[in-house]
A and B are shown apart, each in its own frame.
Chain A
Amino acid sequence: MGILQELRKNKWLYAMSIPVIVYVFIFSYLPMSAHILAFKQFMPAKGLWGSEWAGLDNLTFFFTGPDWLGVTLNTIYLNLLFIVSGTVCSLCIALLLNEIHHSFIKKVTQSLVILPHFISIIVVNLMVVNFFNGQDGMINRLLKEFGFQMISWFQTPEVWPWLLTIIFVWKGAGWGSIIYLATLTGFSEEYYESAKIDGAKRWQQIWYITLPLLRPTIIVLTLLSLGRIFYGDFGLIYGIIGDNSLLFDSTDVIDTYTYRSLRSTNMNSYSNAAAVALFQSVMGLITILFFNWVVRRVDNDSKLF
Chain B
Amino acid sequence: MVVSLILTGILAGCSSDGPGPSETGDLPQASEDGRLNPATLKIMFPGDPPAGWDEVKAEMENRLAGTLNVKLNVVFIPWTDVLQKRQVSLSSAEDYDLIWDNNPVQNIAAGLYEPLDELIEKYGADIKANRSAELMEANKVNGKLYAVPLEVNFIRPWTFVIRKDIREQLGVEPIKSYDELIEFMYLVKEKVPEVTPFIPNGTEHIGLRLANMLDPSANIAAVLNYPGLYTKGNDGKVYNIFDNMDPMIMKNFEQYRKLYQDGILAKDALTLKNAEFAKGKAAVSTFFDFGVNLNTRTALEKSVPGASAEAFSLYDPNMKLSSTYKAGNFIAVPVVSKNKERAVQFLNWLNQKDNYDLLAYGIKGKNWEDAGEGLYRPIKDNPYAGVPFAWGWNPKLDRIDASLPEDDIALNKWQRDPGNFTTDILTGFTFNPSPVANEVAQLSNAGAEFYNPIVMGLVEPNEGLAKFKEKAYDNVKKVQEEYQKQLDEYLAGKNK
Contact = CB atoms under 8 A, between A and B. Distances in A.
A64 interface: yes
B18 A47 contact: yes
A44 B103 CA distance: 16
A265 B12 CA distance: 21
Nearest to B227: A264
A243 B270 contact: yes
A205 to B, nearest CB: 41
B7 A270 contact: yes
A277 B453 contact: no
Contact of A271 (B6, B9, B111, B458): B9
A273 B4 CA distance: 6
B452 A245 contact: yes
The interface centre, meaning the residue of A33, A155, A267 with most chain B CB atoms within 10 A of its CB, is A267
B197 to A, nearest CB: 11
Interface in A254-269: 254-255, 257-269
Interface stretch (A128-136, A165-173, A186-194): A128-136
Contact of B267 (A42, A43, A135): A135
Interface stretch (B24-32, B309-317, B430-438): B430-438
A48 B12 contact: yes
Contacts of B207: none
Given A47-B13, A260-B445, A270 B8 contact: yes
A87 B149 CA distance: 55
Interface string B1-26: 11110111111111100110000000
A interface: dominant SS:
helix
B403 interface: no
Contacts of B268: 129, 133-135, 154, 244
Contacts of A60: 438
Given A258-B3, A267-B434, A48 B441 contact: no
Nearest to A278: B4
B106 interface: yes
Interface in B182-201: 196
Interface string B255-293: 000000000001110111000000000000000000000
A254 B110 CA distance: 28
B213 interface: no
A248 interface: yes
Interface in A218-274: 231-232, 234-235, 238, 242-246, 248, 254-255, 257-274
A244 B266 CA distance: 13
Nearest to B6: A259
Nearest to A259: B6
Contacts of B303: none
The interface centre, meaning the residue of B225, B268, B434 with most chain A CB atoms within 10 A of its CB, is B268
B112 interface: yes
Contacts of A235: 2
Nearest to A266: B106
A261 B11 CA distance: 22
Contact of A245 (B10, B12, B103, B449): B449
A91 interface: no
B444 A264 contact: yes
B9 A270 contact: yes
